Chains A and B, each alone.
Chain A
Amino acid sequence: MSLEEVKVEPKQKFLDIYQEHINDIKNGSPDYINEIREKAIKQFEILGIPDKKDENYKYTDLNNEFDNGYKMYLSPKNIKFEVNDIFTCDVPDLNTKVILLLNGWYYDRENLIHELPGGAIIGSFQAAAKRYPELVKKHFANYAKMDKEGLVAMNTAFSQDGVFFYVPKGVVIEKPIQIINILMDEEEGFTQHRNLFILEDNSEASIVVCDHTLSRPNFLTNSVSEIFVGKNADLKYSRMQNEHNGSKQVSNLYLHQERDSRVNANTISLHGGLIRNNVHVMLGGEGCENTTTGLYLTDKGQHIDNYMYMDHAYPNCTSNQLFKGVLDDFATGAFSGKVLVRKDAQKTQAFQSNNNILLTDDADIKTKPQLEIYADDVKCSHGATVGQLDLDALFYMRTRGIPKKEAKLLLMSAFAYDVIKTIQVPALQERIQDLVDKRLRGELSRCNSCQMHCC
Chain B
Amino acid sequence: MEKDQDKILNEVTQGEYKYGFVTDIENESIAKGLNEDVVRLISQKKNEPEFMLESRLKAFRYWQTMKMPEWAHLKIPEINYQDIIYYSAPKQKVTLESMDDVDPDLKATFDKLGIPLDEQKMMSGVAVDAVMDSVSVKTTFKESLAELGIIFCSFSEAVQEHPDLVKKYMGSVVPYTDNYFAALNSAVFSDGSFCFIPKGVRCPMELSTYFRINAANTGQFERTLIVAEDDAYVSYLEGCTAPQRDENQLHAAIVEIVAAKNAEVKYSTVQNWYPGDKNGKGGIYNFVTKRGKCAGNNSKISWTQVETGSAVTWKYPSCILLGDNSVGEFYSVAVTNNHQQADTGSKMIHIGKNTKSIIVSKGISAGVSQNSYRGLVKVVKNATNARNFSQCDSLLLGDKCGAHTFPYIEVDNKDAVVEHEATTSKIGEDQIFYCNQRGIKTEDAIGLIVNGYAKEVLNKLPMEFAVEAQKLLAISLEGSVG
Distance (whole angstroms) from the CB of B397 to the closest CB of chain A? 7
B349 adjacent to chain A (CB < 8 Å):
no
Given contacts A361-B381, A380-B425, are A388 and B414 in contact (CB under 8 A)? yes
Which residues of the other chain, B, contact A55 by a CB distance below 8 angstroms?
71
The total of interchain contacts (Cβ-Cβ below 8 angstroms) comes to 118
Which residues of the other chain, B, contact A358 by a CB distance below 8 angstroms?
411, 413-414, 416
Given contacts A55-B71, A372-B404, A373-B404, are A378 and B418 in contact (CB under 8 A)? no
A363 adjacent to chain B (CB < 8 Å):
yes
Which residues of the other chain, B, contact A372 by a CB distance below 8 angstroms?
73, 402, 404-405
Q: How far is the CA of A359 from the CA of B423 in the complex (A)?
A: 29
A365–B411 CB distance below 8 A: yes
Residue of B nearest to A367 (CB): B409
Which residues of the other chain, A, contact B411 by a CB distance below 8 angstroms?
356, 358, 364-366, 386
Given contacts A368-B409, A388-B415, are A379 and B425 in contact (CB under 8 A)? yes
**Partner pick for A386 among B396, B399, B417, B423, CB 8 A cutoff:** B417
A373–B414 CB distance below 8 A: no
Q: How far is the CA of A367 from the CA of B71 in the complex (A)?
A: 18
B25 adjacent to chain A (CB < 8 Å):
no
B421–A376 CB distance below 8 A: no
A369 adjacent to chain B (CB < 8 Å):
yes
Q: How far is the CA of A383 from the CA of B423 in the complex (A)?
A: 9
B409–A384 CB distance below 8 A: yes
Distance (whole angstroms) from the CB of A372 to the closest CB of chain B? 5
**Partner pick for B403 among A360, A373, A387, CB 8 A cutoff:** A373
Distance (whole angstroms) from the CB of A248 to the closest CB of chain B? 22
Q: How far is the CA of A358 from the CA of B73 in the complex (A)?
A: 31
A142 adjacent to chain B (CB < 8 Å):
no
Distance (whole angstroms) from the CB of A363 to the closest CB of chain B? 7
Chain A, 369-398, CB within 8 A of any chain B CB = 369-388
B402–A381 CB distance below 8 A: no
Which residues of the other chain, A, contact B409 by a CB distance below 8 angstroms?
365-368, 384, 386
**Partner pick for A376 among B401, B404, B415, B417, CB 8 A cutoff:** B401
A368–B406 CB distance below 8 A: yes
A346 adjacent to chain B (CB < 8 Å):
yes
For the residues of A in contact with B, the DSSP-based class is strand
Given contacts A374-B402, A376-B397, are A364 and B412 in contact (CB under 8 A)? yes
Given contacts A366-B409, A380-B424, A387-B416, are A373 and B402 in contact (CB under 8 A)? yes
Which residues of the other chain, A, contact B396 by a CB distance below 8 angstroms?
373, 375-376, 378
Which residues of the other chain, A, contact B394 by a CB distance below 8 angstroms?
371, 373
Q: How far is the CA of A378 from the CA of B398 in the complex (A)?
A: 11
Which residues of the other chain, A, contact B73 by a CB distance below 8 angstroms?
372
**Partner pick for A361 among B397, B402, B413, B420, CB 8 A cutoff:** B413
Which residues of the other chain, B, contact A385 by a CB distance below 8 angstroms?
417-420
Chain B, 367-401, CB within 8 A of any chain A CB = 379, 381, 394, 396-401
For the residues of B in contact with A, the DSSP-based class is strand
Residue of B nearest to A374 (CB): B402
Which residues of the other chain, B, contact A373 by a CB distance below 8 angstroms?
394, 396, 402-404, 424
Distance (whole angstroms) from the CB of B159 to the closest CB of chain A? 39
Distance (whole angstroms) from the CB of A306 to the closest CB of chain B? 14
Chain B, 40-89, CB within 8 A of any chain A CB = 71, 73
Residue of B nearest to A334 (CB): B410
Q: How far is the CA of A371 from the CA of B405 in the complex (A)?
A: 5
B422 adjacent to chain A (CB < 8 Å):
yes
Q: How far is the CA of A343 from the CA of B403 in the complex (A)?
A: 11
Given contacts A376-B399, A377-B399, A379-B425, are A370 and B405 in contact (CB under 8 A)? yes
Residue of A nearest to B366 (CB): A376
Given contacts A366-B409, A368-B408, A381-B424, are A359 and B414 in contact (CB under 8 A)? yes
A366–B421 CB distance below 8 A: no
**Partner pick for B407 among A365, A370, A377, CB 8 A cutoff:** A370
Q: How far is the CA of A214 from the CA of B157 in the complex (A)?
A: 74
Which residues of the other chain, A, contact B405 by a CB distance below 8 angstroms?
369-372, 382
Distance (whole angstroms) from the CB of A49 to the closest CB of chain B? 21
B32 adjacent to chain A (CB < 8 Å):
no
B426 adjacent to chain A (CB < 8 Å):
yes
**Partner pick for B419 among A346, A363, A383, A388, CB 8 A cutoff:** A383
Given contacts A368-B406, A375-B399, are A381 and B414 in contact (CB under 8 A)? no
A382–B421 CB distance below 8 A: yes
Which residues of the other chain, B, contact A344 by a CB distance below 8 angstroms?
399
Residue of B nearest to A338 (CB): B406
Chain A, 326-362, CB within 8 A of any chain B CB = 343-344, 346, 356, 358-361
Q: How far is the CA of A382 from the CA of B426 in the complex (A)?
A: 16
Which residues of the other chain, A, contact B407 by a CB distance below 8 angstroms?
368-370, 384
Residue of A nearest to B429 (CB): A377
Which residues of the other chain, B, contact A382 by a CB distance below 8 angstroms?
405, 420-422
Residue of B nearest to A333 (CB): B411
A366–B410 CB distance below 8 A: yes
A387–B422 CB distance below 8 A: no
Give the interface centre of B379, B403, B408, B414 by most chain A CB atoms within 10 Å. Answer: B414
Which residues of the other chain, A, contact B413 by a CB distance below 8 angstroms?
358, 361
Q: How far is the CA of A379 from the CA of B426 in the complex (A)?
A: 8
Distance (whole angstroms) from the CB of A253 to the closest CB of chain B? 23
Ordered by A's residue number, 28 sampled pairs between the chains whose C-beta atoms are within 8 Å are A343-B400, A358-B413, A358-B416, A359-B414, A361-B412, A361-B413, A361-B414, A361-B415, A363-B414, A364-B411, A365-B410, A366-B408, A366-B410, A367-B409, A367-B420, A368-B408, A370-B405, A370-B407, A371-B404, A372-B73, A375-B399, A376-B398, A378-B425, A381-B422, A383-B419, A385-B419, A386-B379, A387-B416
What 10 A-B pairs come out closest when comparing CB atoms?
Answer: A376-B396, A358-B414, A383-B421, A371-B405, A364-B412, A381-B423, A386-B418, A380-B424, A386-B411, A384-B420
Residues of B within 8 A of A (CB): 71, 73, 379, 381, 394, 396-426
Additional A-B contact list (19), CB under 8 Å, known A372-B405, A374-B402, A387-B418: A344-B399, A360-B414, A363-B414, A364-B410, A364-B411, A365-B409, A367-B420, A369-B422, A370-B405, A373-B403, A375-B399, A376-B397, A376-B398, A376-B401, A376-B426, A378-B424, A378-B426, A384-B420, A386-B418
